[in-house]
Amino acid sequence: MRNHTLGSLIWVRLTRFTNQSNQMSNEFLKRFDLTTAQFDVLMQIRIFQPLSQMELAEKVTVTQGGISRMLVRLEKEGYIVRKHDWKTKTISLTMKAESILEQAFPEQSAFQSSFFDDVLSEEEQQTLYSLMTRVHKHSQKKEIPPE
């Protein structure tokens, strides 16, 4: 605890939880033949379709190069279609992807919720959600200090 602020300890704990949760989700989502990153991309497409590759890259935690490679794979596997509309190439889900998400989303949601449901009361979850929302909104406005 020496030389650590409470804020830095919270950040480390959140980072470790996120990494562990993603590893467990990758294992959990194997039953649907998806990775956590693919699941996230498909869910974002599902919510915002049709959308461009640039719009999608802004919504997920995958790099622009990574999103390109992933979209090629998802298209080959029959999960997405890309249409060229004049200057813009848009991405939409196929029925195959819709079908897999119909199964995967409720199970993945229940799995992730269990991390909180198993140890926190409803009131504690509300408090955590409120605090994390506040921190997230602040982080979106925060500027990186100059070198």
Give the pLDDT confidence of 5-60 residue by residue, as tens digits: 999 999 999 999 999 999 999 999 999 999 999 999 999 999 999 898 888 988 88
φ, ψ dihedrals at 3, nearest 5° = 65, 10
Q: How confident is the model at residue 126 (pLDDT cuts 50, 70, 90)?
A: very high
Taking the domains of the chain in order of start, what are their residue ranges?
15-111
Is the pLDDT score of 1 beyond 70? Answer: no
Supply the CATH classification number for the domain 15-111. 1.10.10.10
Q: Which amino acid, one-letter code, is at 114?
A: S
The Cα–Cα gap between 75 and 60 comes to 18
The pTM of this model reads: 0.82
% of residues, the chain, pLDDT over 90: 69
- The per-residue pLDDT for 106 is 97
Is the pLDDT score of 128 beyond 80? Answer: yes
- The per-residue pLDDT for 66 is 84
Do residues 86 and 28 lie in contact, with contact meaning Cβ atoms separated by under 8 Å?
no
% of residues, the chain, pLDDT over 70: 99
